[in-house]
A and B are shown apart, each in its own frame.
Chain A
Amino acid sequence: MIAPHRLSIKFFFDDFSVDVESFIPVFHRWIREDVVPNELLLDVADYKHIVDGPAILLVGHEADYVIDLTDGKPGLLYVRKRDVGSDLSSALGTTLSQALNGAKLTENDVELKGKLKLRTDGAAIVLLDRLNYPNAANGDGADSPAVAAQAQLSENLAAVFGDDATVTRVANHAREPLTFKLHAPSAPDVDTLLNRLGSGD
């Protein structure tokens, strides 16, 4: 299946009580120290004035890292924008491993250490590509890309998160991007996931 124009994954924080502003110096340091492998980091955008949206963005060339508060569910959102991959599977592989790497960097950051924990037992996955992956309602005929994407994501994610991992479609409006929810009750921690993806240390 064709790689989507953009693909994002959001992992959610457990008990988020950090002031979002504290990510600003952290992200600037990440840029300075060039901490993300294979990605060019560009700048930090401060959107904390927006209620219920992305609060702080680490903007990169290939991807953005977002401290995202949408729907009152704080999380680390990784948006893969360029060099997404040759097909959906590889796009998912890249996005997932870079997102998990971002999660690890966040949890282990010198300024944030001990203050944050990202959950691995669930995630939101969004295919930002209304041309190739329209968010057509289930069963309306135009939903075959969505159905196929769900099958593909289920297969790939079960291999990483465990056999009991399920991927369900979020019933959002057709104009919104195609969105899936990963539920992975027996998911291991970030390091194990990275190892399974072959991207561990």
Chain B
Amino acid sequence: MSNIGWKDVLADEMSDDLAHEIDIFEGQMELMGQGKLDEKVFAETRLRRGVYGQRYDNGQRHDGFESRELAFDEKERIKGPDTLWHAPGMQRIKVPGGGLTPNQLDVLAQVADEYSDGILHITTRQDIQLHFVHIEDTPDMMRRLASVGITTREACGNSVRNVTCCHLAGVCRTEVFDATPYSEAFAEFLLGHDDVQDFGRKFKPAFSGCEAEACGLVMMHDIGYLAQIQEVDGNPRRGFKVYVGGGLGTVPHQAKVLSEFTPEEEILPLAQAVSRVFARLGEKRNRNRARIKFLVAKLGIEEFRRLVEEERKTLPHDDRWTAYMDTLPHYEEKPSRPPTFLNGQVRSSEFNQWFETNVYSQRQEGYSVVTVNLPLGDLTSQQTWELADIARKYVGDNVRSTVEQNIVLRWVSDSDLPNLYEELKAIGLGDPGAGTIVDITACPGTDTCKLGIASSRGLAGELRTRLTAKSASLPDAIKDLKIKISGCFNSCGQHHVSDIGFFGNSRRSGNFKMPHFQVILGGKWHDNAGSYGLAVGAVPSKTVPEVVDTITSRYVEERSKGETFQDWIGRIGKKEARNIIQPFMQLPAFEQDPEYFSDWGDPRVFSLGDIGIGECAGEVVSLFSMEISPAESEAFEAQVALDENDPARADALAYSSMLKAARALVRTQFLDVGDSPDRIVQEFKTRFFDTELFFDQYAKGKFGQYLLDRHSNGDPKPDNDAAHRLIEEALLFIEATHACESKVGGNVLVEI
């Protein structure tokens, strides 16, 4: 029997930071298991590791007749409010800019088959999600991902989410310049940054290379960067037009221009200043108004801009703002094959059909981008490693996921296209129709989401099948329309920015509820999600395929030459649009048509009984609680190290846990304390020790002295006893930190 775990096997393959963060998370899990962590703190902690709740994890499930309790073991054990420890959950894996390598794909496929249901799901923000994951498996999963440079940190929770970037950046024919290295620098800079730990809500960034296309979707993001070149003193300078305060959800907002031009060296400090303003002034209590869009709307963009500019002036200098720029001139992707042309090869009609929709000719002659059209954004582990091999053979590391839930292979040498197509087809990934009406986007919906009302994926699958069957006969005008579906008003499926969008809701007929979809028409994908669609009315879920047929047929009949779908909807107006769907709004009684009372792909009689509490808003817990929790985990790890007879490590961890606790306390007053132990101890001393704020009624300064003593001991050489003593002291110190925070907390001024 072996006791060697992934932690040991991969020790040399993970970066120290990632490895340590995962150990801390594992320690926090352990503490939660012992009931030593607050449930909300743990919930937010795991969310910030991408460990998300999933439908039925409150232990209830409606079976079509009644709501039943699911007999999980240890029902008293939880991993957050109303969330059972043993219930499987979802793991979101961050993929900045969608960039993936074949080696990463291999490992993703492996963790999917060992820890989830063997399906990788691409999300609408270029992430990857695995479902039905048990929380015990998450640390090892994270280690395996870390070994290929992937982190799940801040994939969920009130944090900076995945930084998206056009999947065509760098090869696009219309971009100003390649936004990729900037989006990467942004993602790296803000990941785990001190100034992004105290948000009231999530914060989603996006980068785009050009204004007119859609890929970056900057207009619907909390912060969006649009590449620009400006003449400054006769020289072209790179920079970005910066948007802020966009977002979908129940109340969609178009982003406002924060700055017409921010030069490249200023984009990171600007993001930091925005983060600070958001952390300080953003709503924390009312989660429905906590996104930055509400702050921008409340203050007005001018005032918001003024505050950001003020904030910028006070930021302590950080070399990382511009460090990445040295690498920019060398940033380039390497094709793995020389450029060639598609001349003379025999082409099947199937290939031609695929070529028409799934191949984009790059700016670089002789190369193309191939879109692997994934049904509902899903692929199996086996398909994933087979795709990794195809990528190795044709494009090397040039693989990205897209916000339309597909994967692209970039830098395909043109003459390789026919063979590549055959190889994709052989693994079931050769579907044509990428970016067309059959390539439907859908959020997880009632399949796995705790907030899902109607089955967005069930509907998307049905529409895909029906539209694919007749795609050859579809008129050109409707072939390129986009359909996007969300399972509820939260709009994770981005229905606001599609030609024909749907979001799930429910209506009553007699004594029964019937799954419905609200119809949203005329949203704009182009112009970076340039405008949002009109809600025209709700129709029963089971009528949606007919509704789509009816709307598209009317459009084809009535459109004037060259009239886009948006223009047509704009012309006929909301009232007439509603008239089109009116015939579908009559609801049959249950006895007349029971089919209407169940959802696509789910024969259970429809109910809303399974809706749980979503975790999208994370838990609002204080910055202090979030920062002290890793200290506790480290003290715990120190005990483990001592049990393993490693006093040096135990001592180092105990000391580090005291520093973390002191830092958390100092940061309640002074956010910019930084990471240097000397600075932390000095600030702790002057602010809390010398002022006696830290003093205990009876023990006086004893607990604080533990840190001061250990810090001044440059060469501890601990034996088991000494390490044991330090661990005890660390635990007392952490306790005292809690006590001090609750004594002083709330009355302190935050300096910036």
Hey, which bits of chain A sit against chain B, CB under 8 A? 2, 5-6, 21, 24-25, 28, 31-32, 40, 42-54, 57, 59, 61, 64, 70, 81-82, 128-132, 173, 175-177
Contacts and interface: CB of A to CB of B under 8 A. Distances in A.
Interface of B: 1-2, 4-6, 9, 55-56, 61, 63-65, 70-72, 86, 88, 106, 109-110, 113-114, 117-119, 131-132, 134, 375-376, 378-380, 382-383, 385, 427-429, 447, 457-458, 461, 464-465, 601-604
A152 B380 CA distance: 30
A31 to B, nearest CB: 6
A129 B114 contact: yes
Contact of B428 (A43, A45, A51): A51
Nearest to A131: B6
B464 A50 contact: no
B113 A131 contact: no
A130 B428 contact: no
A18 B50 CA distance: 39
A28 B64 contact: yes
Contacts of A129: 114
Given A40-B71, A45-B447, A51-B428, A2 B119 contact: no
Contact of B602 (A24, A42, A48, A64): A24
> Chain B: interface secondary structure?
mixed
30 contacts: A5-B114, A6-B114, A24-B602, A28-B64, A28-B603, A32-B63, A32-B64, A40-B72, A42-B70, A45-B119, A46-B601, A49-B375, A49-B378, A50-B375, A50-B378, A50-B379, A50-B428, A51-B375, A53-B118, A57-B117, A61-B72, A61-B88, A64-B117, A70-B382, A81-B134, A82-B134, A128-B113, A129-B114, A131-B5, A175-B110
B119 A47 contact: yes
Given A28-B63, A43-B61, A175 B72 contact: no
Nearest to B55: A43
* 9 A-B pairs closest in CB distance: A51-B428, A49-B375, A53-B380, A52-B428, A32-B63, A25-B603, A46-B601, A49-B461, A128-B114
B110 A32 contact: no
A45 to B, nearest CB: 6
Contacts of A32: 63-65
Contacts of B4: 131
A56 to B, nearest CB: 9
Contacts of B71: 40
Contacts of A25: 603
Contacts of A132: 2
A24 B113 contact: no
B564 to A, nearest CB: 29
B6 to A, nearest CB: 6
Contacts of B464: 49
A51 B106 CA distance: 19
A18 to B, nearest CB: 16
A56 B382 CA distance: 16
Given A2-B1, A45-B131, 19 more contacts: A6-B114, A32-B63, A32-B65, A43-B55, A45-B132, A46-B461, A49-B461, A50-B378, A50-B383, A52-B383, A52-B427, A53-B118, A57-B117, A61-B70, A61-B88, A64-B117, A81-B134, A82-B134, A177-B114
Contacts of A128: 113-114
Contacts of B461: 46, 48-49
B316 to A, nearest CB: 44
B132 A59 contact: yes
